Amino acid sequence: MKIKYFTIILVLTISFGIWESSQLKAQSPQNIPNDPFFDEQWNLYNDGAGDSAVAGADINILRAWKITEGSSDIVISMFDRGIDLDTTTSPMELHHPEMDDENRHMLGKNYTSMWGGDPDNVRDGFPGGTSGHGTWVSGVIFAEKNNEEGIAGIAPRVSALHNRVLGGSPTRREDFKNASLDIKQKASENPNKRYIVNYSAGWFSDPGQETLLQGVQYLESEEVILVSISQNNNQPQVYYPARYAGDFDNVIAVGATVDNDNRCVVGPESGSNYGPELTIVAPGRLIPTTDLVYAESESLPGPYRLAGTSCSTSMAAPHVSGVIGLILSINNQLTPLQVKEILKESADEVGNVVYQNGFHEEMGYGRLNAYQALIHTIENHGAVLGKDKEDVELVLEDDLQFNHDIDLAENTNLTIRSDEGTVSLSAESGVVNIGGEWIGSSAKIAGDLVSDREYPAQKKDAEKERVGRFRLHQNYPNPFNPATKIGFSLPEAADVRLEVFDVTGRQVALLLNEHKPAGHHDVTFDAGDLSSGVYLYRIQAGGHIETRKMLFMK
C-alpha cells in the first residue's frame, strides 16, 4: 500500500520505532552524497576527525536531507560581492560548474559603483564578482549535491538570485537599501514564492538610522527574512543590520562556531561578535566551498577552497539561510517570527558557556540544527512533504508530537525509522488517514508494514514524555483572534505560574498556578474581552522565569 497522503488532525504522538509505507525498507542512518570533497565538509557532517574536532559538532544536515532538499519556489537572494561569471561571453553567463543551472540561478543587479564607468547605469550592470567572496558564500547554500563534483550545498534545490551589493562602493549602506527595495517589489509581485536575503556584511553603526533600517523595513513589509552577520572583530557588539534582530522579527543575527562547537575566536581582534541581539550560531571557519573558476587555492583543488581561515561569520550566515530555505520548502506559510522561533527552539545548546533560559550572548540560542528545525516545523506548524522527493524519511531522535496537519504529496513514500522499538499513533480526537483509508480515531501501528487493521487506542502519558530542558514556547497561532495556545515543557515536575500582562505591566490574566508534572503542557488563552495589541506572557516554574510576546488582532 503506497501512502498518497497522510493527514493527522489534532495530536499524534510517535515513539521510537519503525514505520514504513509500501515495501520501503529502513535505510542507513547516514545519507552520504557522492561529492568528492564532502569528507572535508565537517560543517555538514562532523565525525570527530581532526585535532580539535568533536563528533556531532555540525548542523545535522544528513537527516534533514531525508525530509527535503529544498523547493524552487523558495528564493534566496544573495546580497554580496557578486557571483563568478564568464566575462568572455556576451551577455556574461554563469561560470562555476556547481552553480550554472539557469533554472535555479537568476542574475540580479549590480548595485555598486564598481561596474563600468557610468554611475547612472550602475544598476543595469551584471552582478559579477572578482573577489570570490560572493562565490564562496553562495556555494555553501547552492552547490549541486550528488553530482560527483566538489562539495554539497545545504539547500541544493532552492532558487538563487545573485546580486552585487558589496565591494568598492562608497554608498554600501545605500546599496543595501536599494537592493532591499527591489526584493520587496519582487516578493509583492510573486506571492507564490518566499524570499530570503543573505547579507554577509555588517556595520558598527547605522548613521541616522535612515539606510540600513529602511532596507530592513522594506523587507519586513513583505515578510522577507534577512539573515545577517554579527561580524568578526571579537567584540561584545552585534553589528548592523544584524543588530536589528532585537527589534524586528524578520532579522536573524548569526555568529560563527568552530569544529568543536565553541565560539570562533582566533585572536584578540579576530572572533565572532556577540551580544544580546545574537539569534543563533553556525559553522564559520575553514568551510569547504566553491571558488572562482580561475582561482588557485592551496587548501582544496580549484575551483574550490576552504573559506574562513580566520573567523568568518560570512560563512556562518549561509548555513542559516539555507536551513531557512528548507524550512519554508515544507511550509511556505510561516511568518518570519515563526521561522525565528523554530530556529531558536531547535538549536543545540553547545559551547563552554552556561545558557540562561536557553540563551547566552556568545552563542545566541545555540548552534543551528537543520534536522531538528524541520522536525519542529512539522510538529508545531504542519508541513507538506514529498514535493521534491519521492521518499521522505524521519529518523527519530526523540518522541514526535504532531499538532497540525501533515500532507504527503502524491506518489511519495514516508518512512519513520529508529533503531529499535515500535511506532505508536494516538489521536485523542480526530482521524488518521493513510492512503485515503480511515484507520480509526486512535490507532497503534507496529511492525514492518502499515496494515489496514484498527488497533486499540494508546493514550499519551505526559509523565513519560522526555523533555531535555525547560522551554516556554511561542504561542500559536500568532497573531491570534480571539484565542491562542501557549505551550511549555518541564524536564521535571514543578510549581507553575503562567500570567499574561499588557504592555504597561498590568496583569490581564492568570492562566495557571498549580503543580505540573514533567512533560509538555498547553494552556489556552482567550483574549476576547481585551483590546487588540501586544501582550506579554510570563512563566515561573521552579527556578526558571521566561517571558514572550504575542499579538492579539481583532
| From 314, 346, 426, 489, the catalytic residue | 314
Q: ∠61-216-289 over CA atoms, to 5°?
A: 30
Report how far apart, in Å, the C-alpha atoms of 158 and of each of 48, 143, 190, 361, 506 are.
Answer: 30, 10, 15, 31, 46
213 vs 84: CA distance, rounded Å: 29
Which residues, in sequence order, are bridge partners of residue 366? none
Strand order in the sheet with 432-434: 6-8, 432-434, 437-438
Has 133 been annotated as catalytic? yes
Q: Would you call 205 exposed, middle or buried from its count of C-beta atoms within 10 A (0-12, 13-18, 19+)?
A: exposed
3-class SS string, 284-319: CCCEEEECCCCCCCCCCCCCEEEECCCCCHHHHHHH
**φ, ψ dihedrals at 140, nearest 5°:** -60, -35
Q: ∠10-14-19 over CA atoms, to 5°?
A: 120
| From 95, 96, 105, 133, the catalytic residue | 133
Has 314 been annotated as catalytic? yes
273 vs 202: CA distance, rounded Å: 11
Report how far apart, in Å, the C-alpha atoms of 244 and of each of 203, 217, 237, 240 are.
Answer: 12, 10, 12, 7
308 vs 264: CA distance, rounded Å: 11
Q: What size, in residues, is the chain?
A: 554
Q: Would you call 73 exposed, middle or buried from its count of C-beta atoms within 10 A (0-12, 13-18, 19+)?
A: middle
| From 80, 84, 206, 259, the catalytic residue | 80
391 vs 376: CA distance, rounded Å: 20
The grid coordinates listed for 322 are 539555507
- Radius of gyration in angstroms for the set of CA atoms belonging to the chain, rounded to a whole number: 24
69 vs 104: CA distance, rounded Å: 13
Has 452 been annotated as catalytic? no
What DSSP assignment string belongs to 167-184?
A: SS-TTHHHHHHHHHHHHH
Query: What region does 519 belong to: left with phi over 0, alpha with psi -120 to 50, or beta?
Result: left
Considering only CA atoms, which of 329, 430, 341, 324 is closest in space to residue 380?
341
Q: Residue 449's Cα: distance from chain center in Å?
A: 33
| Residues with catalytic function | 80, 133, 314
